[in-house]
Amino acid sequence: MAERPRVAFVGTGVMGAAMAGHLLAAGYPLVVFNRTREKAEALLAHGAQWAESPGEAASRAEVTITMVGYPADVEEVYLGVGGIVERAPEGALLIDMTTSTPTLAVRIAEAASARGLLTLDAPVSGGDVGARNATLTIMAGGAGAAFERAMPLFEAMGNTFTHAGGPGAGQHTKMANQIGIAGAMLGLIEALQYAKAAGLDLERTHAALSGGGANSWSWGAYGPRILSADFAPGFFVKHFVKDLRIALDESRALGLDLPGLTLAEELYARLQEADGAELGTQALWLLYERGEQAGGVS
């Protein structure tokens, strides 16, 4: 078997640590960086090497993967002084799996190309469960050659892979995904709120509707968490607000008016402001429980 390329993984948070762990288990030599080293300790204990910065990690690898928080973080680790684009060796493949902006993905691709580097914007869907189980959906934008080169790594982390088009296309696809998730989450919560108000047994109702047209990934993944009052983050509210705001900005740039998306962003922003930023997206249930969703779109 051919020797596997060394991979730098930047960002070992809720999802990144699991994703990096699958690469390590698949035999990829791994060098990691995270702003908080303790979040990488489990990977280091299993043989990953530590780097002192994103740029240093990239300088020691043939492939660099990033999974950070916000577009500002993506811009800093890639385009900042001493960052990934500056220090990655010529011919390296750079894969940003953060949900970020299509415009930034294009900028990174252009800067990387000038240095002889290949890039993909490859955000994921599936949350913490998908990351742990290596069942992520991966949506990639970039050159076809870059996508083919990345496929063995993607196969270690997910089970659905789409080459959506050129630079930025992966991020546009993820925005469509987030718009769909926002609608599904509102449907899940409002259906259960209705059942509760009608005096129905919520577990029995959830089970009954799991076999019908109301079923969705969110229904199956987040319904049981709501019913057991588990609001721990599989995906942070603060990150979902970020995603919905990107989706709104991109929609407006495309001349679209999406009232469902507008409502979801307002409700999640309200939850974030009510000390919900560090909770999981299913915690929108709490806003309804407190009656603080009333008022709709302002």
* Partners of 8 in the β-ladder: 31, 64
- Select which of 39, 174, 196, 238 is catalytic: 174
Take residue 213 and report the two structure tokens written for it.
């047209």
DSSP string, 174-228: HHHHHHHHHHHHHHHHHHHHHHHHTT--HHHHHHHHTTSTT--HHHHHHHHHHHT
Known catalytic membership, residue 174 = yes
Question: Using N-to-C axis directions, what is the helix angle for 217-227 and 169-197, rounded to 10°?
Answer: 50
Dihedral sign, CA of 166, 173, 6, 72?
Answer: positive
% helix, strand, coil for the chain, step of 5: 55, 15, 30
Closest of 273, 102, 232 to residue 178, by C-alpha = 102
Query: Active-site positions?
Result: 174
